[in-house]
Amino acid sequence: MEGQSIKFGKNFVTTEEFLAQGHTFCTGCGEALALRLACKALGRHVIIANATGCTEVCTSPLPVTSWRVPWIHTLFENTAATASGIEAGLKILMKKGKTPEKNIKCVAVAGDGGTTDIGIQALSGAFERNHDFLYLCFDNEAYMNTGIQRSSATPYGASTTTAPAGKLSIGQTTWKKNLPEIAVAHNIPYVATASPGYPFDLMNKVKKGGDIKGPAYVHIFSPCPTGWRHATDLAIEIGRLAVETGIFPLYEVENGRYKLNIDRPKLKPVEEYLKTQGRFRHLLDEEIEKIQEHVNEEYAKLKAKVACFST
């Protein structure tokens, strides 16, 4: 089953699949694509700890599984803690000679709810304790598996089932929680954002995060046709538009040093991104303007951080 490497420009990608076909992700799911690419980047020498959520439910209905790498799911809120045990357990067993020495990376996989809401305490603890693990957050910006309920990663103005747009509400009334920045605040060696719209950038970051010693965090933008109400052939395009408008910039923070991976001289207007999705359909010009201002401001802040390290 060993795969070959196929060359795409300057990038090599294995033909081997670690997330097998037969899973039950929705048609056009951005998360499934990103996960598949992430697994290719990581290879076979991993143990995956998966939080409850779309990924878990779509890949592991007993008695079948889509996983060709060792995989464990326990609960929703504790994935970083489960990963802590896997990492520390393997390390001590190898040190004591109870398990043969092998290079195995522990990778935690969770959605935005499992990361930015219910799992944030376990994640913060695992970062602080400096476990050697990679955490991948697949951010589809709401509790999609349970039926599109808002999370703290839901963007301002999006309509969800628990923050619906109505006569008195625009839907989500708070700004998206910035989890990559929270990860950076833990002074971990590697934090990055990625999008399936930029597959090689995504794979390179996941690989880098897997190779780095210590905690690494990659926040992966995961377009969701079901929850965002966009056409099923648009995940890649929306993944790119989010970057091109500055809504979801692609950057890395290596040992505290910021680097913008895609830096466009001029951002596209946010409206181009918002209009692709039914969840923003109700927004009036003034709200779109407010979002534009916020994006401009956040992007400028990010650029300033990048500038700190470019001199």
Contacting positions for another protein (CB under 8 A) = 44-47, 49, 56-57, 60-63, 65, 67-75, 77-78, 80-93, 95-96, 98-99, 102, 104, 121-122, 124-126, 128-129
Q: Of 85 and 189, which CB lies nearer to another protein in the complex structure?
A: 85
Tell me the closest approach of the beta carbon of residue 139 to another protein, in angstroms: 22
Q: Of 125 and 278, which CB lies nearer to another protein in the complex structure?
A: 125
Please check whether residue 241 is in contact with residue 276, taking contact to mean a CB–CB distance below 8 angstroms: yes
DSSP state of 268: P
Amino acid at 304: A
Q: Of 58 and 250, which CB lies nearer to another protein in the complex structure?
A: 58
Outline where DSSP puts E strands in 112-240.
133-139, 165-166, 169-170, 190-194, 216-221
Classify the C-alpha dihedral 116-121-122-126 as positive or negative: positive
Give how far the C-alpha of residue 155 lies from the chain's centroid of Cα atoms, to the nearest Å. 15
Q: Of 206 and 274, which CB lies nearer to another protein in the complex structure?
A: 206
Tell me the closest approach of the beta carbon of residue 178 to another protein, in angstroms: 21
Q: Of 104 and 236, which CB lies nearer to another protein in the complex structure?
A: 104
Tell me the closest approach of the beta carbon of residue 59 to another protein, in angstroms: 8
- Can you list the alpha helix ranges (DSSP code H) found in 164-284? 179-184, 199-211, 225-228, 235-244, 270-274
Select from 192, 220, 196, 248 the least CA-distant residue to 33. Answer: 196
- Cα(133)–Cα(114) distance, integer angstroms: 17
Q: Of 43 and 164, which CB lies nearer to another protein in the complex structure?
A: 43
Tell me the closest approach of the beta carbon of residue 73 to another protein, in angstroms: 4
Tell me the closest approach of the beta carbon of residue 36 to another protein, in angstroms: 16
Please check whether residue 165 is in contact with residue 280, taking contact to mean a CB–CB distance below 8 angstroms: no
Amino acid at 272: E
Tell me the closest approach of the beta carbon of residue 84 to another protein, in angstroms: 5
